């Protein structure tokens, strides 16, 4: 049968599946190694009849060969997915599991108990509505329980099920259960975890998982499943002010300019007045495009595309808002859960990603660290992996945000190490450190797009990177002159020349080189704001710095030009005699000799002056600008 002849299935044939109405509860499980988390999750999957015959067969055979239960079904094997985990008998990463009961669907993040993997627990908790915390009835509340509960509280989890497992090993002792319950409730109260349900269980046997346990008649509360099916965790972000972090600008053709994003909070309707933050410019919503077609209104959680009544400058990282102004500041205080093996360093530059904005950030002060056992604040100089602290940040430019306790989507961020690209920490914003948080940027009646139109060009930065002597300044100078001939407005920023002026205070240490690049990127961005084409000629040897410069601009505004003349050729030319000095050891840390040059991965343009004349290189660049509608 060819597919042309396949029957057409009308949408009206669709049966209304009863599953469709069941809401989803996302929860995380946490506890120490050997408390039985994976077994509990495996048991929930098993008892909910989510497991299918071939999976059960595989479980039975694996239980015999790899199980730790003497050949009985080892439910933990269902969840411990990675080979290394099965070999070591521990969970080393978050696993996501799906099951459903008659009343609800569930997505479980099974988070590991090993101390060094706390970061994964925070990961699992970040998208959870509720947490199931396991404790071993023989051990009660231990340091790990406190650590996990603290992270849960920081991540805004207000609902906890405390599953006191292995009740069979303490003879189903109700008094011991009551003591553990009391101790945990005290701690939860201090942490602001408002709703706790304590349940005594035996996970491998299923006691109080789905069915009430006959072995613990003194417990009259709900089973784990019954509680998960009924708990009300709704926190209605639709009631909060409208916030839409702009993800992407959709410009398929000249007549359409839409701003895409997922509504973080609130609702929006056609005709409503909104502000573009941080500029503060106001306009009205013209159209609302949703996955289901055009609509008059949309609410939190939906991925939408809005068009606006006025043509104003909006780009990724901006936030469309209505109602009370959000917090806007370049100074803020936040809780941090440190992930990276490399300790936190105050004064180092990280990339802070909040919503859709990525901004260079420096931790100015570590105010305190949290002692996990006592939850006391202690002074410290640094945070190691899995430690929690409270820090002050200084950002390269103002961020639009809310306090995490009010709005998870607008108050959460990750910190990225710009050199090694690791996710160094997760953060929850507590407050803005500026007195007046709603000082807007000077409202600019004439914006970038207006200026660019006046000049009939698309502003951009041509960033020439390459070894000393590669020909960056020479080519940039040629391009500058060609642009002038073409009647375009450009400005040349030469690294050497800038070091005589604005960067005269900077030396050549790594930190000073980074600051040099940052300043040049900022100046280039100002030229772009002014509607100009900025030409930057700078060795800029590190890819991460060039990426930061790229991030400072909007998509398409940063054109990386690799002047890829080989080292041997640069050294042969040696126009300033620097290579000779470096080889002679008179110049330390010279790029290409005893300091690395990280070539661009995918530059927009590559020119090699050992193959191309300066004129040809220049023409290649001009041609690129023409073909990509910059000129």
Partner 1 sequence: MIGQTASTMAATPTRTASGDAAMPGAASHLRRLEAESIHVLRETVAEFRKPVMLYSIGKDSSVLLHLAMKAFHPGKPPFPLLHVDTTWKFREMIAFRDQRARDLGLDLIVHTNDDGLSQGIDPFTHGSARYTDVMKTQALRQALDLHGFDAAIGGARRDEEKSRAKERVFSHRSVAHRWDPKNQRPELWSLYNTMLAPGESMRVFPLSNWTELDVWDYILLEDIPIVPLYLAAPRPVVERDGALIMVDDERMPLLAGEEPRWRSVRFRTLGCYPLSGATVSTAATLPEIVREMMASRTSERQGRMIDRDSPASMERKKAEGYF
Give the catalytic positions in this structure: 540
CB of 62 to partner 1, least distance (A): 7
Our CB check for partner 1 shows the closer of 175 and 629 to be 629
CA angle 377, 381, 383 (to 5 degrees): 75
Our CB check for partner 1 shows the closer of 527 and 630 to be 630
Between helix 543-552 and helix 510-529 the angle, nearest 10°, is 30
In angstroms, the CA 483 to CA 447 distance is 23
CB of 303 to partner 1, least distance (A): 4
Our CB check for partner 1 shows the closer of 86 and 458 to be 86
Which residues between 519 and 558 bind partner 1 (CB under 8 A)?
A: 543, 547, 555
CA atoms within 13 A on the CB side of 416: 15
Q: Tell me which stretch binds partner 1 (CB under 8 A): 273-281, 464-472, 478-486, 599-607.
A: 599-607
Residue 577 contacts partner 1 per CB under 8 A: no
Residue 6 contacts partner 1 per CB under 8 A: yes
CB of 494 to partner 1, least distance (A): 26
In angstroms, the CA 315 to CA 449 distance is 12
Q: Show the site string, 359-388: x = touches partner 1 by CB under 8 A, - = not.
A: ------------------------------
Q: Of the candidates 19, 18, 26, which has an alpha carbon nearest to the alpha carbon of residue 235?
A: 26
CB atoms near residue 512 (< 10 Å) = 13
Is 38:76 a contact under the CB 8 Å cutoff?
yes
Is 162:133 a contact under the CB 8 Å cutoff?
yes
* First-residue to last-residue Cα distance in the chain: 54
In angstroms, the CA 549 to CA 528 distance is 13
Our CB check for partner 1 shows the closer of 27 and 172 to be 27
Among 302, 318, 396, 480, binds partner 1 (CB under 8 A): 302
Q: Show the site string, 403-442: x = touches partner 1 by CB under 8 A, - = not.
A: -----xx--xxx-x-x--xxx--x----------------
Q: Tell me which stretch binds partner 1 (CB under 8 A): 96-104, 173-181, 204-212, 484-492.
A: 96-104
CB of 27 to partner 1, least distance (A): 14
CB atoms near residue 437 (< 10 Å) = 17
Our CB check for partner 1 shows the closer of 93 and 574 to be 93
Dihedral sign (CA 202, 206, 210, 215):
negative
Our CB check for partner 1 shows the closer of 292 and 585 to be 292
Which residues between 332 and 351 bind partner 1 (CB under 8 A)?
A: 339, 351
Residue 214 contacts partner 1 per CB under 8 A: no
Dihedral angle over CA of 57, 62, 65, 67, nearest 10: -120
CB of 260 to partner 1, least distance (A): 5
DSSP-assigned letters across all residues of 492-509 = EEEHHHHTTTTTTT--SS
Which residues between 17 and 76 bind partner 1 (CB under 8 A)?
A: 17, 19-24, 52-55, 62
Contacts within 8 Å (CB) and 24+ apart, 505-513: 508/589, 513/545
Among 224, 231, 237, 289, binds partner 1 (CB under 8 A): 289
Our CB check for partner 1 shows the closer of 206 and 603 to be 603
Strand partners, 433: none
Place of tokens 């990386």: 560
Strand partners, 306: 259, 288
CB of 249 to partner 1, least distance (A): 9
Residue 303 contacts partner 1 per CB under 8 A: yes
Which residues between 112 and 171 bind partner 1 (CB under 8 A)?
A: 119-120, 122-123, 126-127
In angstroms, the CA 10 to CA 177 distance is 57
- Residue 16's Cβ-count burial label (10 Å; 0-12, 13-18, 19+) is exposed
Q: From residue 212, give the alpha-carbon distance in Å to each of 131, 143, 203, 215, 225.
A: 21, 30, 12, 9, 10
Residue 591 contacts partner 1 per CB under 8 A: no
CB of 627 to partner 1, least distance (A): 17
Among 171, 192, 301, 507, binds partner 1 (CB under 8 A): 301
Q: From residue 495, give the alpha-carbon distance in Å to each of 61, 167, 498, 513, 555.
A: 67, 70, 5, 11, 24
CB atoms near residue 4 (< 10 Å) = 5
Query: Count of residues binding partner 1 (CB under 8 A)?
Result: 101
Dihedral sign (CA 85, 86, 89, 91):
positive
Our CB check for partner 1 shows the closer of 418 and 592 to be 418
Residue 15 contacts partner 1 per CB under 8 A: yes
Is 108:27 a contact under the CB 8 Å cutoff?
yes
CA angle 319, 340, 88 (to 5 degrees): 120
Among 28, 90, 107, 498, binds partner 1 (CB under 8 A): 107
Among 2, 220, 379, 442, binds partner 1 (CB under 8 A): 2
Q: β-pairing, 558-563 with 460-465? A: parallel
Q: Tell me which stretch binds partner 1 (CB under 8 A): 296-304, 481-489, 530-538, 611-619.
A: 296-304
Our CB check for partner 1 shows the closer of 402 and 547 to be 547
Our CB check for partner 1 shows the closer of 426 and 524 to be 426
CB of 264 to partner 1, least distance (A): 10
Among 395, 502, 530, 599, binds partner 1 (CB under 8 A): 599
Which residues between 230 and 269 bind partner 1 (CB under 8 A)?
A: 247-248, 250-253, 256, 258, 260-262, 267, 269
CB of 296 to partner 1, least distance (A): 4
Residue 606 contacts partner 1 per CB under 8 A: no
CB of 57 to partner 1, least distance (A): 9
């Amino acid at each position: 049968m060819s597919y042309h002849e396949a029957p057409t299935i009308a949408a009206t044939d669709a049966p209304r599946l009863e599953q469709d109405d069941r809401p989803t509860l996302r929860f995380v499980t946490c506890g120490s190694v050997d408390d039985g988390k994976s077994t509990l999750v495996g048991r929930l999957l098993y008892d909910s009849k989510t497991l299918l015959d071939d999976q059960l067969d595989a479980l039975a055979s694996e239980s015999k060969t790899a199980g730790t239960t003497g050949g009985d079904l080892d439910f933990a094997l269902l969840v411990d997915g990675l080979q290394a985990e099965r070999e070591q008998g521990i969970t080393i990463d978050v696993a996501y599991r799906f099951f459903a009961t008659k009343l609800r669907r569930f997505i479980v993040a099974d988070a590991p108990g090993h101390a060094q993997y706390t970061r994964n627990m925070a990961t699992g908790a970040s998208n959870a509505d509720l947490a199931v915390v396991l404790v071993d009835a023989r051990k009660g509340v231990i340091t790990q329980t406190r650590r996990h509960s603290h992270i849960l509280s920081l991540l805004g989890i207000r609902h906890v099920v405390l599953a006191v497992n292995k009740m069979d090993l303490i003879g189903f002792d109700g008094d011991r259960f009551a003591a553990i319950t009391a101790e945990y409730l005290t701690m939860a109260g201090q942490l602001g975890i408002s709703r706790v349900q304590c349940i005594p269980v035996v996970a491998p046997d299923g006691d109080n998982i789905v069915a009430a346990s006959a072995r613990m008649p003194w417990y009259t509360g709900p089973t784990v499943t019954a509680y998960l099916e009924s708990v009300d965790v709704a926190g209605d972000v639709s009631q909060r002010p409208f916030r839409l972090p702009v993800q992407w600008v959709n410009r398929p053709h000249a007549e359409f300019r839409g701003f895409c994003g997922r509504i973080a909070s609130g609702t929006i309707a056609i005709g409503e007045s909104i502000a573009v933050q941080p500029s503060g410019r106001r306009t009205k919503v013209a159209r609302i495009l949703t996955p289901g077609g055009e609509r008059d209104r949309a609410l939190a959680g939906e991925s939408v595309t809005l068009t606006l009544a006025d043509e104003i400058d909006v780009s990724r990282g901006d936030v469309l808002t209505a109602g009370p102004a959000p917090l806007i500041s370049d100074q803020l205080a936040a809780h941090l859960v440190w992930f990276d093996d490399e300790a936190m360093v105050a004064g180092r530059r990280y990339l802070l990603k909040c919503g859709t904005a990525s901004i260079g950030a420096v931790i100015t002060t570590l105010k305190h660290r949290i002692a996990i056992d006592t939850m006391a604040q202690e002074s410290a100089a640094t945070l190691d992996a899995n430690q929690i602290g409270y820090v002050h940040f200084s950002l390269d430019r103002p961020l639009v945000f809310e306090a995490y306790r009010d709005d998870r989507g607008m108050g959460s961020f990750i910190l990225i190490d710009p050199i090694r690209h690791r996710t160094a920490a997760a953060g929850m914003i507590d407050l803005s450190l500026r007195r007046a948080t709603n000082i807007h940027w000077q409202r600019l009646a004439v914006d970038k797009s207006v200026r660019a139109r006046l000049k009939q060009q698309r502003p951009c930065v041509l960033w020439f990177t390459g070894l000393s002597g590669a020909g960056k300044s020479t080519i940039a100078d040629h391009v500058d002159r060609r642009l002038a001939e073409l009647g375009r407005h450009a400005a040349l920023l030469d690294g050497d020349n800038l070091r005589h002026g604005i960067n005269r205070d900077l030396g050549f240490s790594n930190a000073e080189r980074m600051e040099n690049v940052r300043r040049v990127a900022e100046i280039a961005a100002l030229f772009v704001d002014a509607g100009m084409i900025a030409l930057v000629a700078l060795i800029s040897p590190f890819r991460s710095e060039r990426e930061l410069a790229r991030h400072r601009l909007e998509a398409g505004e940063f054109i990386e030009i690799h002047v890829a003349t080989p080292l041997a050729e640069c050294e042969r030319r040696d126009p300033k005699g620097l290579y000779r000095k470096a080889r002679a050891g008179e110049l330390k840390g010279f790029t290409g000799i005893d300091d690395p040059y990280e070539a661009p991965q995918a530059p927009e343009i590559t020119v090699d002056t050992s193959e191309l004349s300066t004129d040809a290189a220049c023409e290649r660049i001009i041609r690129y600008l023409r073909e990509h509608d910059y000129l």
